[in-house]
């Protein structure tokens, strides 16, 4: 096993526990570590294309439809379920995301939430995280969705490379009860540099690092 493979095995222990078995995919990969590598490389390249193409400019910000479009754009080459509402209940650690029987109603309610201020946008993001509408790839898609809202409403974005992983994950874990902490953590990384590709790629790498993906650098893809 190479050093990079050992790193990948260690970083994806949590991912493997969550998935339990390798998700069925379009690539025909049956090994969870190999799938994680392919998923990171392909979806990161797609995220960069998403930014450079201006595709986001044509999406209505803050809607589930726009989130689904982002998710589909990132993962359509990998999973048949890209952009589709999950059909199973999912959990992370001891936290269970919105039960399937209430998921569609939850998404409809989130859609109606206001999004004209920073606080409102983060509150909407927190609720969408609780919903976790997809089988896989929620966090990565939702952070792009959040930036799309911030950019459209406030001409701001988050420099994710300036967000501490442990602080972010801890704040997100507590956010359904108290969202003040996550608002504070993300506010420190707000920037008006919304068209900077280098900033976007560094932030993208950090966003993937939050989920345990760190084998490929965006600038090398």
Distance (Å, whole) CA 215 – CA 92:
23
Q: pLDDT (tens digit, 9 = 90+) per residue, 173-190?
A: 999 999 999 999 999 999
What end-to-end distance do the CA atoms of the chain give, in Å?
24
More confident residue, 199 or 17: 199
- Which parts of the chain fold into alpha helices (H)? 3-11, 13-19, 32-53, 64-75, 100-111, 118-131, 138-154, 165-174, 180-187, 197-210
Q: What is the mean pLDDT of residues 103-129?
A: 98
Q: Which fold has domain 3-220?
A: Fic-like fold (1.10.3290)
More confident residue, 35 or 19: 35
* pLDDT, the chain, mean: 91
> What average pLDDT score do residues 154-180 get?
97
Mean pLDDT (whole number) for 89-106: 93
Q: Which two tokens stand for residue 53?
A: 């193409």
When pLDDT is averaged across residues 44-49 and rounded to a whole number, the result is: 98
Contacts of 84 (CB under 8 A, 6+ apart): 68, 134
């Amino acid at each position: 096993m190479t050093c990079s493979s050992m790193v990948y095995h260690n970083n994806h222990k949590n991912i493997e526990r969550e998935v339990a078995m390798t998700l069925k995919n379009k690539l025909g990969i049956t090994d969870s570590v190999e799938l994680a590598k392919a998923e990171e490389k392909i979806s990161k390249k797609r995220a960069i294309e998403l930014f450079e193409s201006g595709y986001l400019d044509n999406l209505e910000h803050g809607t589930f439809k726009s989130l689904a479009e982002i998710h589909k754009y990132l993962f359509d080459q990998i999973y048949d379920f890209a952009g589709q509402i999950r059909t199973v209940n999912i959990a992370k650690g001891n936290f269970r995301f919105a039960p399937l029987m209430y998921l569609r109603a939850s998404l409809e309610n989130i859609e109606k939430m206001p999004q004209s201020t920073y606080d409102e946008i983060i509150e909407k993001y927190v609720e969408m995280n609780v919903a976790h509408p997809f089988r896989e790839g929620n966090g990565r898609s939702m952070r792009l969705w959040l930036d799309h809202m911030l950019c459209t409403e406030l001409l701001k974005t988050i420099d994710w490379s300036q967000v501490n992983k442990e602080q972010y994950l801890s704040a997100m874990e507590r956010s359904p009860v108290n969202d003040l902490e996550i608002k504070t953590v993300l506010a420190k990384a707000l920037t008006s540099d919304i068209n900077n590709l280098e900033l976007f790629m560094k932030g993208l790498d950090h966003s993937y690092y939050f989920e345990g993906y760190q084998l490929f650098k965006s600038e090398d893809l």
